[in-house]
Amino acid sequence: MMPKKNSPIWHPFTQHALQDEMTRVVRGDGAYLSTSDGRRILDAISSWWVVTHGHCHPRIVNAIQDQAAKLNQIIFAGYTHDPAEEVAALVLELAPPGLDHVFFSDSGSTSVEVALKMALGYWRHLGKQRTRIVVMQHSYHGDTIGAMSVGARSVFNAPYGPLLFDVISVPFPASGREQITLDALETACQKDSPAAFIVEPLILGAGGMLMYPAWVLKEMKRICEASGVLFIADEVMTGWGRTGTLFACQQANVTPDIACYSKGLTGGALPLAVTLCRSDIFDAHYSKDRARTFFHSSSYTANPIACAAAKANLEIWQDQQSHQRVASVARMQERAIEPFRTDPRFANVRRTGTVTALDLRTSEAGYLAKIGPELQAFFIERNLLLRPLGNTIYVMPPYCVTASDLDEIYGAIRDAADATAWRRNYVT
C-alpha cells in the first residue's frame, strides 16, 4: 500500500514517492517566502520564473483588491472591460513595433497553443496547405498537447507520444556551431514550406538554460522572413526583463510575427497570458463567414482581476527605474557568477541578462541526474528556493534581490559542490 499522505494534492513535476512532504508557505514579501514553521526562504528562481518586482508588490496588490470589488469575472466573447482594454494597449506599447492584436489566455502553454492555431488558421484561410512546424532541439514550450508537440521529445512528454504531432527539428545553436543551425533552418524553410518556426529567444529554459547570442536570433528571423515562414517567439520565460531587455527579441532588433507572453505579465500575482500577432494574421480570420472565426477560448479569458494586476505591473514597467533595476541585477549577477568560470567543479558557466546558469560536473548529466533532488534538498536546508534542472543550477531572482542575497545564493552553490562531491563521481 502507498504510505498515507497528509494531503490529497498531486503536485506538478513532483515524484511523491521521493518527496512526500511539501514546504508550506504562508506569506511572500519581496524576494522572500515565509513558511508555516517560521523559516524565511530566499526565492532565487522567482517562484518558477513568474515574480518580477517581488512577492506581494503593494501596487499590484492594491490593484487586485480594487478590481475585486468592482467586477470579478465576465464572459469575454461579445463583452469587454476596461482592465483588458488597458492591458492590451500597454502591452502593444511596450512590445516590439509591428504587433497589432492581442489575444488573452491563461498560461504560457495556452499562449503557445493560441500561437500555433493562429499560424495554422492563417495559412488555411489563405488557401495554402502549410501545416508543418519547425522547432529547435532541446526546446520546451509547455505541457498541453500542442505545446508538448513543439517541444523536445524527452522525459517530459515520453508517455504521451501517441498524442503528439510530428515536427521538423533544427539543432540548438551551440557556440561555434551556429551556422549548422542556420543552415538547417534555411533548408527546412525552403524544402518543407512550413507554416511557422517557434523558438525561445536567447535562452532555452526547461531544456537546460541553454543560451545563444542575439545575432543568431536575428538571422533566424531573416531566414523565416525570406521564405514566408511565420516566426513565433515564445517569450513566456524570456520576457519581462529576464534577458536584460523587456523582451529578448529587442536585443536582436526583430519583431516576431506572433509573440507569446505570460509568467511575469502580472508580476507573478495571478495567471494570465497574451499572444500578440501582426494585423495580417488577424485579417486572415476576419470575415463574414463564421467558419473563419478563431475558435479558441477558456472560461476565464481576460479575467478582470488578473488584468488589473497586469495593468499595475505594466505601469511599473513604464517607470525607467524598473529598467535600471534590471540592469543593476544583471551586473550583480555577472559579478557573482564570474569566480565560477575558473572553478573546475563547474562547466559551461553562463549568463544572459538577469539569468545565470552553470553545470555541476558529474558523471551523470541531464534532467533526471540523481544529483538534482540532492541539490534541491541541500538548498532548501539552507533556506533557498533553488530548483536545479538535473546537474544544471540556475539563478533567476526577482528584481528586488540584493547583492547580499546573491552572496548567500552563490555561497550555497559552492557549498553544495563540496557537500555532494563524495557521491557524484566527481569528474574534470
Same domain, 131 and 280: yes
Residue 127 lies in a domain: yes
- DSSP tag of 157: T
Residue 254 lies in a domain: yes
The single-letter code of the amino acid at 201 is P
Q: Which residue has the cell 533556506?
A: 383
For the record, the C-alpha cell of 117 comes out as 492555431
> Domain count of the chain?
2
Position 6 scores a pLDDT of 80
Position 257 scores a pLDDT of 98
Residue 355 lies in a domain: yes
What are the pLDDT digits (tens) for 288-341? 999 999 999 999 999 999 999 999 999 999 999 999 999 999 999 999 999 999
The model's pTM is 0.96
Same domain, 230 and 376: no
Question: Closest Cα to residue 212, out of 199, 227, 229, 225?
Answer: 199
Same domain, 298 and 349: no
Residue 17 lies in a domain: no
Same domain, 155 and 295: yes
Would you give the end-to-end CA distance of the chain in angstroms?
43
Position 300 scores a pLDDT of 97
- End-of-domain residue from the set 279, 295, 317: 317
Query: Is the Cα dihedral 116, 118, 123, 125 positive or negative?
Result: positive
Rounded distance, CA 272 to CA 274, Å? Answer: 7
What are the pLDDT digits (tens) for 191-227? 999 999 999 999 999 999 999 999 999 999 999 999 9
Rounded distance, CA 176 to CA 178, Å? Answer: 6
Same domain, 265 and 338: no
Question: Per-residue DSSP letters for 339-360?
Answer: GGGG-TTEEEEEEETTEEEEEE
Distance, C-alpha 175 to centroid of its chain: 22
The single-letter code of the amino acid at 281 is I
Same domain, 278 and 309: yes
Position 4 scores a pLDDT of 59
Question: Per-residue DSSP letters for 197-242?
Answer: EEE-SSEETTTT-EE--HHHHHHHHHHHHHTT-EEEEE-TTTTTTT
Rounded distance, CA 260 to CA 133, Å? Answer: 16
- End-of-domain residue from the set 317, 340, 360: 317
Same domain, 272 and 340: no
CATH for 348: 3.90.1150.10
What are the counts of helices (DSSP H) followed by strands (DSSP E) for the chain? 12, 16
Same domain, 255 and 380: no
Residue 8 lies in a domain: no
Same domain, 225 and 342: no
Residue 23 lies in a domain: no
- End-of-domain residue from the set 317, 351, 372: 317
Same domain, 227 and 162: yes
For the record, the C-alpha cell of 267 comes out as 508580476
Same domain, 395 and 325: yes
Question: Closest Cα to residue 312, out of 99, 105, 86?
Answer: 86
Element (H, E) at 28: strand 25-29
CATH for 302: 3.40.640.10
Question: Closest Cα to residue 413, out of 395, 427, 426?
Answer: 395
Residue 214 lies in a domain: yes
Pick out the chain residues at pLDDT < 50. 1, 427-428
For the record, the C-alpha cell of 388 comes out as 536545479
Question: Is 167:133 a contact under the CB 8 Å cutoff?
Answer: yes
Question: Closest Cα to residue 237, out of 357, 107, 42?
Answer: 107
Residue 100 lies in a domain: yes
- Containing structural domain, residue 347: 320-423
Distance, C-alpha 249 to centroid of its chain: 14
For the record, the C-alpha cell of 352 comes out as 544572459
Question: Is 142:200 a contact under the CB 8 Å cutoff?
Answer: no
Same domain, 311 and 324: no
